């Protein structure tokens, strides 16, 4: 991970306390853009009980699988964007719990991130979508 430098200046809010870095500087390398991942299996069907928590866990796992396909891990991710239908504090907590359980991103060197509340996603039953950008060293 020496191709990425994480910076969290004391003059900005303590983002590490809630799981993201303020700034990441990437050395030249190969950029990886992972399309938004949702709580679907390989047949484009929702997994489990289709709850927000279940969808979040599956979407995170799908991100992990996509990264592995190109030889990347969560440690190579520089930015993650979460789109959440019906964003509430409860859903934020469920997402934080799912991320903690998945252990995809390094807690001490997490990616930068954006959390966006949306009215709906591409399909009515989808409650969360996660997209990431990663940088692999040359």
1-58 residue pLDDT tens: 688 888 888 988 888 887 788 888 888 889 999 999 999 999 999 988 989 999 999 9
Strands in the chain per DSSP E = 4-7, 23-26, 29-37, 77-85, 112-118, 128-137
pLDDT at 95 over 70: yes
79 touches 47 (CB < 8 A): no
In the prediction, which pLDDT does 34 show?
94
What's the half-sphere exposure (Cβ side, CA atoms, 13 Å) at 18? 13
In the prediction, which pLDDT does 1 show?
61
Domain boundaries, the chain: 4-10+17-137
Q: What integer best gives the mean pLDDT of the chain? A: 92
Please report, rounded to a whole number, the percentage of residues in the chain having pLDDT higher than 90.
70
Strand ranges across the sheet with 29-37: 29-37, 128-137, 77-85, 112-118
CATH number of 4-10+17-137: 3.30.1330.40
Q: What is the Cα–Cα distance from 84 to 95, expressed in whole angstroms?
A: 10
């Amino acid at each position: 991970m020496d191709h990425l430098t994480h910076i969290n200046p004391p003059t900005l809010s303590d983002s590490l306390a809630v799981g993201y870095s303020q700034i990441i500087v990437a050395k030249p390398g190969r950029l990886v853009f992972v399309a938004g991942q949702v709580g679907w299996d390989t047949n484009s069907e929702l997994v489990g009980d289709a709850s927000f928590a279940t969808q979040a866990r599956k979407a995170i796992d799908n991100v992990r699988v996509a990264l592995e396909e190109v030889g990347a891990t969560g440690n190579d991710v520089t930015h993650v964007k979460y789109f959440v239908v019906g964003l509430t504090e409860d859903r934020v907590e469920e997402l934080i719990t799912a991320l903690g359980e998945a252990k995809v991103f390094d807690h001490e060197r997490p990616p930068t991130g954006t959390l966006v509340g949306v009215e709906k996603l591409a399909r009515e039953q989808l409650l969360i979508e996660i997209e990431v950008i990663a940088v692999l060293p040359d």
